Amino acid sequence: MKITKICCIGAGYVGGPTMAVIAQKCPHIQVTVVDLNEQRIKDWNDPNTENIPIYEPGLSEIVAEARDRNLFFSTDVEKAIDDAQVIFISVNTPTKTYGKGKGMAADLKYIELCARQIAKVAKQNKIVVEKSTLPVRTAEAIKSILDNTGNGVQFQILSNPEFLAEGTAVTDLLSPDRILIGGDTTPEGEDAINALVEVYANWVDKDKILTTNVWSSELSKLTANAFLAQRISSINAMSELCEKTGADVSEVAKAIGMDSRIGSKFLKASVGFGGSCFQKDILNLVYIAKSYGLNEVADYWEQVIIMNDHQKRRFSNKIVQTLYNTVADKKITFLGWAFKKDTNDTRESAAIYVADDLINEQAKIAVYDPKVSRNKMLSDLDYLQTRSSEENSNALDIFNDPYKACEGAHAIAILTEWDEFVTYDWQKIYDSMHKPAFLFDGRNILNVKEIESIGFIYKRIGS
């Protein structure tokens, strides 16, 4: 089968960038991204591509090139499903907040809704591709829905997990480490796999396109994120030991990172990992292990989350203890709210939880982030349901100017490693603050000697 029409259900952080790159690299394929969120689609169609809803370096240029040529954004889900040969499912799969598996299992209600809608609309054979991060054997459930509630058409289910890091998503899509495609081992399944392989082969070397059975593909995604998160929690655990013993965690990380068996990536101590994938996927892995009675396996992976939560609390506790055991009515400035640089995604950002802890201590929080809006910051705090929206609004002051945000602050906490923070006139910032002026570098991006020479009382993770 030669693919000429693709539909993607879900215009979020995965669907939008992935489809934009496919459209750019495959001008012979019509790519339609659909979503029921009318405002989100309107934003994707904004004439000024700098205003698209997702910030990723290089994404707006790709959208500008392909949009209205062979890349389209629409709310007409049924038409897109009907027209397409391949349908990517890229909807949200949050951790369940209710019922069996609450707090661990993936909530698959949106996946099921997609499957039922595809089954209802499809009149010709379709390839359905899981792009969302899903628990093992979800494809089996999707296939059951499609085969038993449809119009008698044949569906092939493929698993094609994304391995994108927010902030470098475009680079990851253009030059991936690997593309993983899982499907049935039947002749029809092999044909579907090969059809998708040929789409990616327009710009990815076939040696980097791995094909597996669908179950291996689904589990590989969870495993990859679990291993990466484990490394972060491991170095964060050592950062606390470094503080107690007088070691420097940056030096320890450099030393062990030079071991070729270990490598240097994901060994930077910080206030903790965030984002949509790591915590959700590990909790999903824990739930799967428990459902099979593998309690020791579940406990092992759950400790990665426990360590990450501990690191966030430890950071907020360090601020309170350093500021003479009280931050009541003190202004604490946060530089950064996104969970990492070069993205406007705030899901599971450490900043949310540190802010929540400090507001509980009656601190006044001032925030500057170059890409995150005031409404998003407030909704992040409201989601925790710790206090009323009015109380959160009164406790959080958002600035468009970092220097204004720092004026009169008792302390500054760096929560996101935005490159621009390194270039600031820190002497000017110090001069505008209450004395003594404290600086807590939760991302270890500033030069210790330079900052201390200005006069800051400088605290960072692992020192």
* Active-site annotation, residues: 162, 221, 277
Q: Is the peptide bond before 94 cis (omega within 30 degrees of 0)?
A: no
Q: What single-letter DSSP state applies at residue 106?
A: B
- The helix (run of H) or strand (run of E) holding residue 177 is none
Spatial separation of the C-alpha atoms in residues 94 and 276, rounded to whole Å:
8
User: Do 334 and 355 meet the contact criterion of CB atoms below 8 Å apart?
Assistant: yes
Distance separating alpha carbons of residues 159 and 129, to the nearest angstrom: 6
Tell me the C-alpha to C-alpha distance, in Å, between residue 284 and each of 51, 181, 419, 447. Answer: 34, 21, 33, 38
Report the candidate in 225, 181, 175 with the shortest Cα–Cα distance to residue 203. Answer: 175
Tokens 């054997």: give the residue.
137
- Say which DSSP state 73 is in: E
Q: What is the DSSP string of 323-350?
A: TTT--TT-EEEEE--SSSTT----TT-H
Report yes or no: 228 and 281 within 8 Å, Cβ to Cβ.
no
Which own/partner contact pairs does 229-232 have at CB distance under 8 Å and 24+ positions apart? 229/273, 229/278, 229/279, 229/281, 229/282, 229/304, 229/308, 230/301, 230/304, 231/265, 231/266, 231/267, 232/266, 232/270, 232/272, 232/273, 232/278, 232/308
